[in-house]
Amino acid sequence: MVGNLLNIGKRGEGNEKSYQLLRDSLDLYLTISPDNVQYLLLQARLYFHLGIWPEKVLDILQHIQALDPSQHGAVGYLVQHTLEHIQHKKHPVEPWAKKRSAPEHLEVHYSVGLIMKHKRSGYNCVIYGWDPRCTMSQEWITTMRVHQLSSGDNQPFYNVLVQDGTCRYAAQENLEPHSAPLEIAHPEVGRYFSEFCSTHYTANEELQTRYPEDTVETLRTVQELYHSLGTNSVPEGPPGPQTNNSTDV
């Protein structure tokens, strides 16, 4: 019965009732099976998505890490952003802005809203943020074998929402514009974008404030890639890595 409730909740269309059903079902299921990593992670993601109980999210993530260390990727991402959320609540600040025209950002090839494909893993995703260099911890860099990339951590990295519902931090050399843009079925899409426009996503007001020059760049890019060449043409991205070593970033 609880399993059926969970499935119904997960199939919801993102409305308040479906979220409430999912929350109640998860609470009930985890009362019965408190060490189920899959549903603990789902609960943490749900609370994070709704922006509630960040301290409890951290407790859940710590419990997941103790139960299954292999979940370090998903756990690390959520821990980082949950801590940022807590810090923001304590010390609200004006939205920061990253201008791609700044000298330190000139190597950033892609912009928010572009639909991409990971060259090695093959997953589809949409960009919702970027850094001119990898900003993750040295432990994460080592774990993800970033040093095996041709440019290592000394290249732009992108925050992407992946079709499978995960959020990842991908190196520029491992991404390329998608040859046939498609919608990305990720629960966080509505948090960053206002609409899907057949070739790209339009950033919402908050994301445009953070990346004020990316909207124009995204429109220029999709015009060049898809409207001039045709949507069936395979766009060319920056040269790929010249190494056979495998890494998923």
Q: In what order do the strands lie in the sheet with 115-118?
A: 167-171, 157-162, 124-131, 115-118, 175-177
Q: Name the pTM for this structure.
A: 0.61
Residue 242 located in a structural domain: no
Listed in order, strand segments (DSSP E) in 112-246 are 115-118, 124-131, 157-162, 167-171, 175-177, 193-196, 201-203
My answer on whether 189 and 166 are in the same domain is: yes
Tokens standing for 62? 């710590």
Which residue range is the domain that position 46 belongs to?
2-90
Q: State the DSSP code for 147.
A: G
Q: What is the pLDDT of residue 228?
A: 64
Tell me: pLDDT of 241 over 50: no
Tell me: pLDDT of 6 over 70: no
Q: Residues 70-121: pLDDT tens digits? A: 887 778 878 887 887 776 666 555 557 999 999 999 999 999 999 999 999 8
Residue 141 located in a structural domain: yes
My answer on whether 153 and 211 are in the same domain is: yes
Residue 107 located in a structural domain: yes
* For range 134-142, the mean pLDDT: 86
